[in-house]
A = this chain, B = another copy of it.
Amino acid sequence: MTAAAEIADFLRREFPQTKCVVEAVGDGTSTVSHEITVHELRPGGTVLGPVLMSVADVALYVAILGKLGIIPLAVTTSLTINFLRRPTADRAILGICKLMKVGHSLVVGEVALYSRGQDEIVAHAVGTYSIPRGAVTDTARQSI
């Protein structure tokens, strides 16, 4: 498993545009957070959909890096998101990811998104990442 701090360093270096903070990394799991700024709100005072999509995408990526090591070229191949409730405008978005399959070339996981401090899920995503051949050892895959 890759440590959360190592993943946070990698993201800062390679994805300086993301504001997501790595809060926790477990075995096939991750928690990331994203502070909402005014320009991420839309009419009606709710968080823009693409902001939630991007938090889901990062949570999935972080869980994969935690599980398989730092693989810069892992890329999203598909993502499905359902928007369930309006997030609170002035709270950070939390993305909590759990990988469901870590295969030889594809990893599939789900992400539950919340407004921090609230119980109700605001959106749910399922995504697939493609892992370049030879990027990871079989050992890294075994525990899931």
Interface: A53 (CB within 8 A): yes
Instruction: Bin the interface of chain A by size.
Output: 35 or more
Partner of A49 from B44, B79, B105 at Cβ < 8 Å? B79
A108 to B122, CA, bound (A): 12
Oligomer copy total: 4
A78 touching B81 in the complex, CB below 8 Å, given contacts A42-B14, A100-B121? yes
Q: Which residues from B are CB-within-8-Å of A72?
A: 43-44
Q: Which residues from B are CB-within-8-Å of A126?
A: 80, 82, 124, 126
A77 to B83, CA, bound (A): 5
Seen from chain A, the residues whose Cβ lies within 8 Å of a Cβ on chain B are 14-17, 39-40, 42-44, 46, 48-50, 53-54, 57, 72-73, 75-85, 100-101, 105-106, 108, 110, 121, 124, 126, 128, 130
In the complex, 25 of the A-B residue pairs with CB atoms within 8 angstroms, ordered by the A residue number, are A14-B42, A14-B43, A43-B73, A44-B72, A44-B75, A50-B50, A75-B83, A77-B106, A78-B78, A78-B83, A78-B128, A79-B81, A80-B126, A82-B101, A82-B108, A82-B126, A84-B101, A84-B108, A85-B101, A100-B121, A101-B121, A108-B124, A110-B110, A124-B126, A126-B126
